[in-house]
């Protein structure tokens, strides 16, 4: 990587396609030089449902980003989401045989291999293998165990997997536009990279990205990714609930949500009525604000509680000490932070790109966290790759380049 490399991030979202181009320097500085957006109709619940349409819609976003940046985009980091994506933690174990030397580099190699050998779901591939700290017997949090004396070396590995064909569908949409997918990354990881600083990653923070069709979540603690998941629920479901509950069109429901929505039922809503700001229905009807807010709060509460229960089941709830960070467009819903605080019993905030320097205000919005994070991921991987070639380093997100996808990319 030279002092000014160009990094491109692409999110094929359910409501929007977003392409960002940045110049990256050696010190993790990113300067956005191109932005391209388009509406998205070829993606549902974070997955491609119409490849031709999605490719055409991406073409428009790519063109806009290229025009603004004044470059031809040939390679990009692509975000991946969908219900098929799943995170799980596996433990590798290896006995320390050499009592005199303690843990050897070979022991480390073997224990990592054991931790990675996790039975994946059918037709799935690893998206990321994220290593946790080592333990020797009952001493945990060992960063480098070489030379440590004891009987058993263990290490946990957080493995994020996804269905090969479904990931490949997203990659093909990008390739149809003559853009090579350099690496893929889980959208939830990307969002976390954009909005968590070192302190939050260390103390423990949960990032919840609620988009239009999917909700990704990812927990960082002790500087490592501890848990992740995806729910096939997003802001579109909130809109649909309103449409059904109030017997109005989806477009009218979206209008009410954007202009009068709230994640909680506010105390002063009794008897208050709201009307639509546009369309035919505007002339004819008004609606109870309390009913609108009740419908929204029920869906959003259910979504957050699902994540709460998952963390409770994994015994990881106590790791949210630095709080809950809400990203994705649905994080713009008024009072969602209040609802999250009530459910998680932790401080909740709307995401901003605090982990990135000088992002223009227009882009420093929750709905851009995934794409901004893809740039951060990209610059990180590029720097790590350079050091790896020099024999120094492996990425903490190793296997984020699923070999199988890369090989395909080269063959095509
Ligand atoms: N002020 C707001 N109040 C409530 N919802 C909002 C607001 N602004 C945006 N949204 C919702 O945010 C969603 C879009 O978010 P985002 O752009 O993050 O989705 P996406 O990345 O396209 O989709 P996904 O990641 O789910 O595939 C829509 O459902 C939209 O209604
Ligand atoms: Mg999204």
Q: pTM, whole model, 2 decimals?
A: 0.93
pLDDT (tens digit per residue) in 273-294:
988 876 666 566 889 999 999 9
d(CA 69, CA 23): 10
pLDDT band at 373 (very low <50, low <70, confident <90, very high): very high
Residue 403 pLDDT class (50, 70, 90 cuts): very low
Q: State the distance from the centre of ligand 1 to the C-alpha of 408, rounded, in angstroms.
A: 32
In whole angstroms, what is the distance from residue 356 CA to residue 31 CA?
10
Return the best residue to mutate from 12, 13, 15 for the ligand 1 pocket (most ligand atoms within 8 A of CB).
15
What is the per-residue pLDDT across 188-244, written as a single tens digit (0 to 9) for each?
999 999 999 999 999 999 999 999 999 999 999 988 999 999 999 999 999 999 999
| Residues linked to residue 18 through DSSP beta bridges, in sequence order | 11, 37
The set of residues, in sequence order, having a beta carbon less than 8 Å from that of 390 and lying 6+ positions away, is none
For residue 171, what are the CA distances in angstroms to 120, 128, 187, 216, 398?
21, 16, 14, 19, 19
pLDDT confidence band for 357 (50 / 70 / 90): confident
Domains and CATH numbers, the chain: 86-161 (3.30.1490), 197-354 (3.30.420.40)
What is the number of the ligand closest to the CA of 45? Answer: 1
Neighbours of ion ligand 2 (CB under 5 A): 13, 211, 370
Measure Cα distances from 360 to 79, 153, 245, 364 in Å.
21, 46, 38, 6
Q: How far is the CA of 10 from the centre of ligand 2 (A)?
A: 11
Q: Indicate whether 332 pLDDT > 90.
A: yes
Tell me the CA–centroid distance for residue 235 and ligand 1, in Å: 6
Q: In testing the pocket of ligand 1, which one of 49, 190, 211 has its CB within 8 Å of the most ligand atoms?
A: 211
Any residues with Cβ below 6 Å from ligand 1, and which?
A: 11, 13-16, 46, 81, 211-214, 234-236, 254, 257-258, 261, 328-330, 332-333, 367
Please tell me the predicted confidence (pLDDT) of residue 301. Answer: 98
Residues 189/218, Cβ–Cβ less than 8 Å: yes
Most informative mutation of 38, 80, 241, 329 for ligand 1 (most atoms within 8 A of CB) = 329
Percent of the chain predicted with pLDDT > 90? 76
| CA–CA gap between residue 80 and residue 236 (Å, rounded) | 19
* Residues in contact with 106: Cβ distance below 8 Å, sequence separation at least 6, in sequence order: none
Minimum mean pLDDT range among 239-243, 260-264, 267-271, 347-351: 267-271
CA of 95 to the centre of ligand 1 (A): 49
Q: How confident is the prediction for the chain on average, in pLDDT?
A: 90
Mean pLDDT across 44-51: 97
Q: How far, in Å, are 119, 260, 263, 274, 285 from residue 277 at the CA level? A: 52, 10, 20, 9, 11
How far, in Å, CA of 350 to CA of 366, rounded?
A: 7
CA–CA separation, 22 and 9 (whole Å): 9
Residue 249 has pLDDT above 60, yes or no: yes
pLDDT for res 42: 98
Give me Rg for the CA atoms of the chain.
22
pLDDT value at residue 97: 92
Specify the pLDDT at position 394.
Answer: 52
pLDDT the model gives residue 372: 97
Question: According to the model, what pLDDT value does residue 404 have?
Answer: 43
Residue nearest to atom 1 of ligand 1 (CA): 332
């Amino acid at each position: 990587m030279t002092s000014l490399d160009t990094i491109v991030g692409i999110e094929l979202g359910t409501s929007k396609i977003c392409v960002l181009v940045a110049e990256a320097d050696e010190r993790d500085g990113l300067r956005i030089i191109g932005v391209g957006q388009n509406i998205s109709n070829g993606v549902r619940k974070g997955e491609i449902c119409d490849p031709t349409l999605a490719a055409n819609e991406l073409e428009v976003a790519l063109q806009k980003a290229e025009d603004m940046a004044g470059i031809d985009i040939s390679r990009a980091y692509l975000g991946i989401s969908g219900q098929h994506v799943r995170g799980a933690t596996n433990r590798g174990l290896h006995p320390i045989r050499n009592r005199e030397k303690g843990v050897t580099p070979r022991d480390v190699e073997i224990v990592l291999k054991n931790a990675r050998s996790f039975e994946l779901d059918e037709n799935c591939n690893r998206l990321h293998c994220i290593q946790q700290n080592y333990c020797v017997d009952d001493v945990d949090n060992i960063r480098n165990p070489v030379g440590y004396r004891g009987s058993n070396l263990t290490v946990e590995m957080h493995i994020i997997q996804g269905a090969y064909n479904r990931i490949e569908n997203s990659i093909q949409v990008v390739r149809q536009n003559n853009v090579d997918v350099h690496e893929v990354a889980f959208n939830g990881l990307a969002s976390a990279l954009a909005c968590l600083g070192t302190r939050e990653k260390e103390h423990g923070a949960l990032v919840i990205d609620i988009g239009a069709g999917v909700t990704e979540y990812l927990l960082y603690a002790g500087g490592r990714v501890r848990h992740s998941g995806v729910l096939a629920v997003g802001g579109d479901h909130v809109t649909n609930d309103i449409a059904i509950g109030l017997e109005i069109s989806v477009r009218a429901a979206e209008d009410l949500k954007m202009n009068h929505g709230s994640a909680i039922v506010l105390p002063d809503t009794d008897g208050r009525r709201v009307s639509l700001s546009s369309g035919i229905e505007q002339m004819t009807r008004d609606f109870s604000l309390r009913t609108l807010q009740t419908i929204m709060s029920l869906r959003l509460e259910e979504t957050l509680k699902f994540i709460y229960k998952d963390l409770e089941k994994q015994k990881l709830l106590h790791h949210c000490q630095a709080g809950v960070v809400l990203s994705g467009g649905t994080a713009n819903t008024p009072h969602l932070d209040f609802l999250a605080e009530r459910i998680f019993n932790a401080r909740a905030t709307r995401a901003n790109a605090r982990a990135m320097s000088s992002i223009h205000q227009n882009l420093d919005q929750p709905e851009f966290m995934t794409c901004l994070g893809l740039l951060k991921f990209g610059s990180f991987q590029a720097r790590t790759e350079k050091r790896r070639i020099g024999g120094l380093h492996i990425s903490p997100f190793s296997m984020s380049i699923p070999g199988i996808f890369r090989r395909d990319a080269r063959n095509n």
